[in-house]
Amino acid sequence: MSQIERLEVVDAEIIDDDDLFTANDGPQSYGVVRGRYRFPPPPGWHPTKVIRRTPANPLGLPDWYRMTNVVSAFSDQERLQLWLEWKLFMGLRVADGVLFDEWMSERIEQMEPDAQKALANSYGERARRAAHADAAARRGTARHKMMDTYLTTGEVTGTRSMRQQLASAMAALERCGFTVMDTEFKVWHPAAGGTMGTSDARVMCQRTGQVGILDWKTQARFWTWQEIGGQLYGYDSAPWNWSGPPDDRGRWEEATPSTLLGHEDGQFAGQRVALVAHMPQAPGPGQVPVEIHEVSMEYGRGVLEVAERNLELRSVGRSTAVGRRPSGIRPPRG
């Protein structure tokens, strides 16, 4: 039985610990907690584990996987890990090494292992920020915000180079014959027991009326299309979209089916595709023109399925429960 089929038959008990919290009469906000989306399940779907109401989670909401985390579940992380370590050690040298001095002044040897780990992670994050490891992500976020602001309000924001990218992006959409229908909407997909993400845009082909997903990508170059393909397929095939504000005034609605096919003169003619608008954010030349890429949804489906299977295998591999764990002590000869 597949993961999706299991989800349709597994129900979870929602336990009310009313004495642990005081209800708020105003709208209850949802959001991202510890890297996961905390939202109610769509109609007909249920979390696969017991959810307790606590002061930290007064509504007893499940925490769904993030789509980007799911699709990276089996990717090669060695390049990323080496980059993070490089930035960490460079950050320790910033400002005449003051952060290193602070780290060396901590009474780390007297701490419990969990406290040591937490403090080391905190210093690691501070060091990477000092080395501007978050600069690319922040620039990318700024461009996403600029595009969403323009498409929802018509207001032009951003620096001169950002505005050039905006104009180039809109020209690229017009050149390829696409109209933006909506932007920045949350989706829910049944993969891995429940996965959420925020899709950048939904577009319609002016010539065919076909509807599809578009994502703004701001990296300088594409090292791999693996995670991108899986992410876009998750958005493209998600059966539910969130409508309204991110609180109990909003609701889940059935998603508009994606129907976009590859251009008849392109590599994926007649095949299901999603779109990437490449608008690199690194300073200097090379930021325009913005280009529209087609991404195979057949490939993306394969990525998401393998990633989901890898998450399941990872969970089994870490299990210590007898009957579920994949190892055990061999009994002596009888």
pLDDT per residue as tens digits for the range 293-303: 999 999 999 99
pLDDT at 282: 65
Query: Domain for residue 92, yes or no?
Result: no
Query: Domain for residue 327, yes or no?
Result: no
Query: Domain for residue 228, yes or no?
Result: yes
Q: 267 and 171, same structural domain?
A: yes
Q: Are 195 and 66 in contact (CB under 8 A)?
A: yes
Within a 10 A sphere around the Cβ of 188, how many other Cβ atoms?
25
- Give the CA-trace dihedral at 209, 213, 214, 217, to 10 degrees: -160
Q: What is the DSSP code (8-state) at residue 12? A: -
Residue 261 structural domain: 135-315
Q: How many Å apart are CA 152 and CA 166, to the nearest integer? A: 14
Q: 141 and 47, same structural domain?
A: no
Query: Domain for residue 310, yes or no?
Result: yes
Q: 160 and 233, same structural domain?
A: yes
Peptide bond between residue 283 and the one before it cis (omega within 30 degrees of 0) = no
pLDDT at 284: 62
pLDDT at 11: 38
Length, in residues, of the chain: 334
Give strand ranges (E) for the chain.
Answer: 14-15, 31-33, 36-38, 51-52, 63-66, 178-189, 195-205, 211-217, 240-243, 251-254, 273-278, 291-296
Q: 154 and 13, same structural domain?
A: no
Give strand ranges (E) for 106-246.
Answer: 178-189, 195-205, 211-217, 240-243
Q: How many Å apart are CA 157 and CA 22, to the nearest integer? A: 42
Q: Are 311 and 71 in contact (CB under 8 A)?
A: no
Would you write out the chain's pLDDT as a tens digit for each of its 334 residues? 333 333 333 334 434 343 334 444 567 789 998 889 999 999 999 887 888 899 889 889 999 999 999 998 877 666 778 878 888 999 998 988 999 999 999 998 999 999 999 999 999 999 998 998 888 888 889 999 999 999 999 999 999 989 999 999 999 999 999 999 999 999 999 999 999 999 999 999 999 999 999 999 998 888 889 999 999 999 999 999 999 999 999 999 999 999 999 999 999 999 999 999 999 876 666 688 999 999 999 999 999 999 999 999 999 999 999 889 999 999 998 7
Residues 6+ apart with CB under 8 A from 30: 37, 38, 39, 40, 61, 246, 247, 250
Q: 153 and 63, same structural domain?
A: no
pLDDT at 22: 41
What type of residue is 257?
P
Peptide bond between residue 289 and the one before it cis (omega within 30 degrees of 0) = yes
Q: 279 and 164, same structural domain?
A: yes
pLDDT at 95: 86
Query: Domain for residue 195, yes or no?
Result: yes
Q: β-pairing, 273-278 with 291-296?
A: antiparallel
The H-or-E segment that residue 145 falls in is: helix 135-153
Q: 65 and 144, same structural domain?
A: no
Q: 267 and 160, same structural domain?
A: yes
pLDDT digits (tens, 9 = 90+) for 275-321: 999 998 766 666 889 999 999 999 999 999 999 999 999 999 999 99
Q: Which of 71, 89, 120 is the last residue of a domain?
A: 71
Q: 168 and 40, same structural domain?
A: no
Q: 162 and 54, same structural domain?
A: no
Q: What is the DSSP code (8-state) at residue 62? A: -
Query: Domain for residue 112, yes or no?
Result: no
Query: Domain for residue 130, yes or no?
Result: no
Q: Give the CATH number for residue 164.
A: 3.90.320
Instruction: Give the chain's domain count.
Output: 2
Beta bridge partners of 217: 278
Query: Domain for residue 331, yes or no?
Result: no
Q: 153 and 61, same structural domain?
A: no
Q: 160 and 67, same structural domain?
A: no
